[in-house]
Amino acid sequence: MHRTALLVLAALCVAGGAADAGSKKAKRKKRHAEFRGHNALKSTLRTEPLEKPSGNVWVKVDNLNEEIKVNIYKEDGSFDDEALAKLDNAFRCTRTGEVRAVRAELYEQLSRFNDHFEGKQIHLVSGFRFAERNSSRHYHASAMDIRIPGVSIREMYKFAETLDAGGMGVGLYPTSGFIHVDFRAPGEPSYRWTDTSGPNSGKGKRKKKSTGRTQPARKPTS
């Protein structure tokens, strides 16, 4: 009788351990499923040069409740430093207030969104992030998270892909409701991903201390 009880107890322990292992495995699978990414196939990248956009940009910064409407070009077609400086300020880090010179080509892509979606106001979810790990393109002022009210983020994602002639990252965030567009670090391939984790999934995690510096902010010209 005593031996039988011991055998039953051992069987229950084994079953319990298997259940715990299965539960942990399921949790790991769930975490991994939140992010799916891959290098973009070269055959899907743009081969023709991009047409120059109108330069018009109309942005509302969600976290700052600020709005800006500018044209990034001068009459001669060169970049308007004063307009870029205004956008740099709108793209500033919302946590620290730090301002950096955002890559001007990113603003050109923003203007292409403006042109393609018929001048609709674009909402900036996140631009430059100084309080960010230095591997992030946000930290290097080369990334933006955007959405357009009334426009599907999947439609925005597909359009963003058509702008990529190489070296761009495009991410889809269905839970949070925006897309990410960036220019990769030099030499890095184009990348695509979907992240369903949501805005609070990384809350409480410690971030790596930033060691590099981005370009200082532009100063408006008179």
Cα 71 from Cα 158, distance rounded (Å): 25
Condensed to tens digits (0 to 9), the pLDDT of residues 157-180 reads 999 999 999 999 999 999 999 999
Q: What percent of the chain has pLDDT over 70?
A: 75
Predicted local confidence at residue 59, as pLDDT:
98
As averages over each run of 10 residues, the pLDDT of the chain (222 residues) reads 54 55 54 84 96 98 96 98 98 97 98 98 98 93 98 98 98 98 97 90 46 51 33
In 62-190, DSSP assigns E strands to 66-71, 122-126, 143-147, 168-173, 178-183
What is the pTM for the complete model shown? 0.79
Indicate if the alpha-carbon torsion angle 44, 50, 53, 57 is positive or negative: positive
Tokens of 165: 């002639």
Tokens of 76: 């001669």
Q: What residues does each domain of the chain span?
A: 34-195
